[in-house]
Amino acid sequence: MDASTLSRDEEAHRLHRLVGLGYGLTYSLAYGLTAWGIDAWVLARARAELAGARLAVGLPLLLLIGAAAGAVAGGSARAGAWVGVWIGAGALIGSVVGLMPYAGLSLATWIAEPRLWGETTYPMGHAGAARLAFTVVLTACAGAAAGLLGHVAADKVLRLASPAGQTRGRRWAWLALGLPVAILPALIGDEVVNRPLRAGQKTVHTALSAGPSGETGQSEIAPRASSGLGYTLHRVTHNPQALSQQTIDAAFEDDVVVRCQVSDEALAACRPIAPEFEAWMDALIQDALQGGSGTALAPYAGRVSVSPDAESWLASQRGAMGKRYEISRDTQRGGWVIMSARFGTGFALSCYFHGASPVVVDHCSAG
């Protein structure tokens, strides 16, 4: 083999790998924008918390997977290698899509609120796990087709390339050959994984946007609907067996928070919740001042539960507290609410509440 033949083979191999890389990036970009672009748009219109978080966290991961799969597959001229690599890449992409509403949103929450770092802010549950498995299988199957089409695209570009290994820009349009097998499973993934989880926030937003009405469940939010105040919708909990049953908090700019129950995309009931958190925080402090007797919290049995660690820690801080204090709501992220109290002694504490039925006091800390 002479030097010129070897050089042409090297150029062909380089171009083949470059096409694979471009194909992988095109596929994963189309998949990510479809799977999470629609979701981000709907959630942003519904004023949902972290509306674009899945897109922001998930798309870079998909681009890395697509680029790696494309570069590896592009190193081979065999169709079987392309199919095998893309089946694996499809399974990884499906895993990312299935995990993003849970692990992805938890990561985004930790970044937005470092005090919640390490907490499971969005637990998956059985229904989420089943949808994850479905998405992995679906996208792996689509990956087989994507691999075959990617091999065809690489072969076409290589055939159309000049002897110098250069090809005209319009011939790179073959990279779009895999778009249908990216967009279709992404649409299905959004329907299966994302839509049931955003349904609760969309339902509450629709009720608020519609204005006052006599419909069931709107008695508490009807006065807020015409107030013109901005609000953020938090997904507090969802039924791990049935994602259609959710608890949604509407947190308004004037610090009023309304907690709503949604079932099968219908508003079941709403009630003001912020005063309850203040009452629970006050009861926690009163019990601590009484040495952890539990007397002040007794009237709220069944509605709020305090972990043993939180109870013992609060009782141990009795000496630093005082009878004069101010309670405030620091922040809410998903189903986690951080309540704070500042004492006349200069001591300050924060307690971390989460969940809905019952609300659980996970732990408290100083400062």
CB 291 within 8 Å of CB 285: no
pLDDT of residue 6: 43
Burial of 302 (0-12, 13-18, 19+ CB in 10 A): exposed
pLDDT of residue 216: 47
pLDDT of residue 209: 80
pLDDT of residue 281: 95
> How is domain 274-366 classified at the architecture level of CATH?
Roll (3.10)
Domain ranges of the chain: 3-196, 203-271, 274-366
Residue 331: half-sphere exposure toward Cβ, Cα within 13 Å: 10
pLDDT of residue 165: 45
202 to 11, 99, 253, 260, 280: CA distances (angstroms): 53, 21, 19, 12, 29
CB 212 within 8 Å of CB 222: yes
pLDDT of residue 155: 76
pLDDT in tens, the chain (367 residues): 444 544 555 665 676 678 888 889 999 999 999 999 999 999 999 999 999 999 999 999 999 999 999 999 887 778 888 899 999 999 999 999 999 999 999 999 999 999 999 998 999 989 999 999 999 999 999 999 999 988 887 777 766 655 544 555 555 566 677 788 999 999 999 999 999 999 999 999 988 887 655 454 555 665 665 566 789 999 999 888 888 899 999 999 888 899 999 998 888 888 899 999 999 999 999 999 887 777 888 898 889 999 989 988 998 998 899 889 999 999 999 999 999 999 999 999 999 999 998 999 999 999 7
Residue 326: half-sphere exposure toward Cβ, Cα within 13 Å: 5
